[in-house]
Amino acid sequence: MILTYNGSCASQNSDNPLIKRMWTTMNAVRPSAFTKSNKKGVERVKRGDYAYLMEFSSIEYEVERDCNLTAIGGLLDNKGYGIATPPGTCTAYVTQHRMMDMAVEA
């Protein structure tokens, strides 16, 4: 069985012992530890007695906009993402150069 949350996957058959243990624990609790969306997860956190796991960039976004939320811990894993554009287009050119600018700024 594989869990998919907003495009990210976690599997009960993961080779990572931490992910495996988290899956087992989260799958066993009632009411369910899982939510259908990040929005529902954040709402549940605000009601109390719940911690929600989501991608780091989404956590940063929520925490920057709501001072009642706090991010704790570090990254569980690190994933890369790609951006697809039609080759040779203005969009491809601008995207590539802006990303290069951001890499230099970092």
Q: Tell me, what's the pLDDT at 106?
A: 67
Domain assignment of residue 35, yes or no: yes
Domain assignment of residue 53, yes or no: yes
Domain assignment of residue 31, yes or no: yes
Contacting residues for 2 by C-beta, under 8 A, at least 6 apart? 9, 10, 11, 12
Structural domain range at position 61:
2-81
- What CATH number is associated with residue 67? 3.40.190.10
**Within the chain, where are the H helices?**
17-28, 38-47, 56-65, 90-105
Domain assignment of residue 63, yes or no: yes
C-alpha 58/C-alpha 41 separation (Å) is 11
Q: Tell me, what's the pLDDT at 55?
A: 82
Give the count of beta carbons closer than 10 Å to the beta carbon of residue 98: 10
C-alpha 57/C-alpha 69 separation (Å) is 14
Domain assignment of residue 38, yes or no: yes
Q: Tell me, what's the pLDDT at 12?
A: 67
The domain tally of the chain equals: 1
- How does pLDDT run across 7-59, given as a tens digit for each residue? 445 566 777 788 788 888 888 989 888 888 889 999 999 999 888 888 888 88
Domain assignment of residue 62, yes or no: yes
Q: Tell me, what's the pLDDT at 94?
A: 86
C-alpha 55/C-alpha 58 separation (Å) is 5
- How does pLDDT run across 91-104, given as a tens digit for each residue? 888 888 888 888 88
